[in-house]
Structure 1
Amino acid sequence: MRCWCTGETVNMVRRQRKQFGKTGGQLVPAARTAGQQALEAALLLAVNRTMAGMRRRGHPLRPTAVVGRVHLGSPVLALEVDPVVVELLLGQALPLRAGDELIGIRGLRPVPGRDHLDLVGRHGAVRLLGVTKNVWRDALDRIGTPVESTAEPPAGPVKLMSGVLRRLPLWKGAAWLDVVPSNDSLEIYWRGGPSSWSMAEILSGSSAALPKVSASPHDMSDVVRGVALSDVKVGRGTGAEPERAWMEWVIATFPGPALNEHAVRSDHVELLPGGWEHDDMRTALARRDVGAVYRLLERRGVARERIGELTGQSPVEVAAIAGGRRVESYELLSRIANGLGVPRGYMGLAFDEEVPACDCADDETAKRRRFLQHAAAVTVGFAVFGEYSGNWGPCSCELTARRRAISA
């Protein structure tokens, strides 16, 4: 259960068994101090703003993949952040000057290490793994230098927000995630992935639950789910493990993409059955790193000649891309995705939906005739120009096309 909540591997959790006694037997221990809880709560809001920005910009990486793993056995809470969004996250977390406004977490101070970046607050710290000194310098050149400021506690239920950050990988099967704090409760909304009922059971009644928390599930629509968390004086306790909830979570989360995430496959036979779901392949596809995709295909026994045959590229072009040449053309990216049988959603490509041609033979003359029939029926009380059907508006095919355009 711990692995599913934090994204840690089984071996990582086994090495931390001695620490379980120090945490009261909690599988996912809470932050020990109020200052650490406040920092983690503020960082959750920064992650939430990052995910919202990714949705607005149409970022190819799924927002819920920002934090891939939470390390609870480190000296400080450590987060594995996807390298492609490090700059976006730091732009939301660090205190920066934007005109006359100060954005970010006030009082936060970055301390770069050799292979990580520590975000140090007044009474706590969080480590971002994989942020090397070079990555930090590149990000600093783009976002600017953080400014000194006085720390301020975040608004909302700090304890709940800290607990959600430590369990953020639970939502890795969702297409997006939105956190809405209030004075004494925390509402979480997501699209696709695990059901609201299963998440409520896991967060309030499992061995990995938040302590003394009440969770109320609610669905906004068929695909948008939600859960409201609030503090209670006496928690439900672990009791019997909610096996059905965990089973639903596993089905909705694995092998990786959200169930409601659009994925249109081409008419070709899939080149690599099940292979697109591997973590390394999904990462390369999300970054549109076609060279890495080609190299991974070669490792799995797919010859370059076969790749060129499916994508319509010459062996020289395939070799150049595999050697590191970037593919920027949207048309070529679409051709590669369709040729290899890659779900277009995995590469952040649009989905071409063919609108069937109208077969009702309603040209402009027919439309004018229907309008005149309606006008005559209203003014003189009987039909002219033939039998009047009572419908003078757009044909059914045109209405269908309009509805699709509105919902797109």
Structure 2
Amino acid sequence: MPISGHVSDHDRFISRRRCTGESNREIRRQLRTEAGPLMPSAGTYLQQILEAGLLVAACRAVDGVHCVRGTVDGQVHVIVKAGLSRHRIGLQVTDEALDHLLSAILPMQIDDEPYGVMGLRPSPARGHLDLVLREGGRTALARLHGVTRARWQQARDFVRDTRSPAIPFWESSPRETHIAEAGFTHLRELYPMGLMSEVLRRYLLLKSADWIDMHTVGDAAKVRWCRGPAATDVAAQLADPVCGIADLDVCPEPLSTSVERVVLKLPHRGRPRHGRQRA
């Protein structure tokens, strides 16, 4: 049920932790660093694009895990924690799903069709992998915590092997956008990037589900999952004034005894301004 009246910091933090898996300490640190609401939204359109792509990749990773397992039974955990900021997002991705998520988000061309987030480039470090999207002097960032250089090399080899033959823009043009890659960026306008970004930032609301799927129809996002919470409960949390999505139109649609769905839509909004960022 939506929370009304006075809400203590303790209860507010519980609401955010339910969406992200963060600790109280991590939430307090972010709120001290950045002025703004309890649940920060992506501060730029470029950050929204990156996060929307991560949501799609997380859903496709489920299919990859099912394929490797040879069954659709059992839980598939992809994202187990999200750390929020206006200028970036930090994620913990399960080892089982990592290869498949990267295969879905790294930009490439296969049979004249684009795959992944155009302009995205991987930047490995000792204890994490940064996914960096640069465009017009602006930067968007997602940090995958716990991905070592050695683990990145394994994932890179997996993407090379499973996505061949392909034009891997992320590898063939590491420091600049490939001319063919730039030609696909207009397709971004077909998707509700802001809404998809908001859903990613609340991904952990569905952590008890066996799997999570999402597709878009026009300006709407249809999020579907197997088992886990009831669609009515998820709809109530997404509309909650504390950690829900502002101005959201949400319709719960139970599909069967085990599969649930919510249909989400936001009023048309202008893009967030491209402010100064620190990546």
Question: TM-score scaled by structure 1?
Answer: 0.52
CA deviations 1:366-408 (Å, max 9, x no partner) are xxxxxxxxxxxxxxxxxxxxxxxxxxxxxxxxxxxxxxxxxxx
Distance 2:235 2:122 in 1: 35
CA distance in 1, matches of 2:264, 2:79: 21
* 2:114 matches 1:79: no
Question: What amino acid maps onto 1:142 in structure 2?
Answer: F
* 1:177 matched to 2:193: no
Partner of 2:16: 2
Aligned partner of 2:27 in structure 1 is 13
Letter in 1 for 2:148: T
Q: CA deviation at 1:199?
A: 0.5
Residues 221-256 of structure 1: per-residue CA shift (max 9 Å, x gap): 11111111111489xxxxxxxxxxxxxxxxxxxxxx
SS of structure 2 residue aligned to 1:219: coil
Q: Distance in 2 between matches of 1:170 and 1:55?
A: 21
Cα distance in 2, alignment partners of residues 108 and 164 from structure 1: 20
What's 1:115 paired with? 127
Aligned position for 2:153: 137
TM superposition shift of 1:130 = 1.0
The 8 Å contact of residues 38 and 154 in structure 1, kept in 2 or not, is answered as no
Do 1:155 and 1:182's aligned partners in 2 also have CA atoms closer than 8 Å?
no
Alignment RMSD, CA only? 2.3
Task: State how far apart, in whole Å, the 1-side matches of 2:196 and 2:24 are.
Answer: 25
TM-score (norm 2): 0.75
Count, aligned residues:
230
Who is 1:33 aligned against?
Answer: 44
- The CA distance in 2 between the partners of 1:74 and 1:27, in whole Å, is 11
Q: Which runs of 5+ in 2 are unaligned?
A: 1-14, 161-167, 174-180, 270-279
Question: What corresponds to 2:78 in structure 1?
Answer: 66
1:57-84: CA deviations, max 9, x gaps? 4378732x21100011596211111122
Structure 1 CA distance for aligned equivalents of residues 123 and 211 of structure 2? 30
Q: Residue 117 of structure 1: SS of its match in structure 2?
A: strand
Q: Match of 1:190? A: 225
CA contact (8 A) 1:41 1:154 kept: no
1:164 correspondence with 2:180: no
Contact 1:42–1:154 (Cα < 8 Å) also in 2: no
Work out whether residues 191 and 225 of structure 1, in 8 Å CA contact, stay in contact via their aligned partners in 2: yes
The CA deviation string for residues 317-338 of structure 1, in whole angstroms up to 9 with x for no partner, is xxxxxxxxxxxxxxxxxxxxxx
Following the alignment from structure 1 to structure 2, what is the Cα–Cα distance between the partners of residues 228 and 84? 29
Indicate the structure with greater strand content. 2
2:214 and 2:66 mapped to 1: Cα distance?
Answer: 14
1:218 aligns with 2:232: no
Q: How far apart, CA to CA, are the structure 2 residues paired with 1:29 and 1:48?
A: 23
2:105 aligned partner: 93
What SS is found at the alignment partner of 1:205? coil
CA distance in 2, matches of 1:17, 1:214: 27
Which one-letter code corresponds to 1:12 in the other structure? E
The aligned runs of 1:6-405 (5 Å cut-off) are 6-19=20-33, 22-23=35-36, 26-58=37-69, 62-63=75-76, 65-73=77-85, 76-98=88-110, 101-122=113-134, 123-144=139-160, 146=170, 147-148=172-173, 149-150=181-182, 152=185, 153=188, 155-232=190-267
Match of 1:372 in 2: none
Q: Distance in 1 between matches of 2:189 and 2:95?
A: 26
- In the alignment, structure 1 segments of 5+ residues that lack a partner are 235-408
SS at match of 2:51: helix
More helix by share: 1
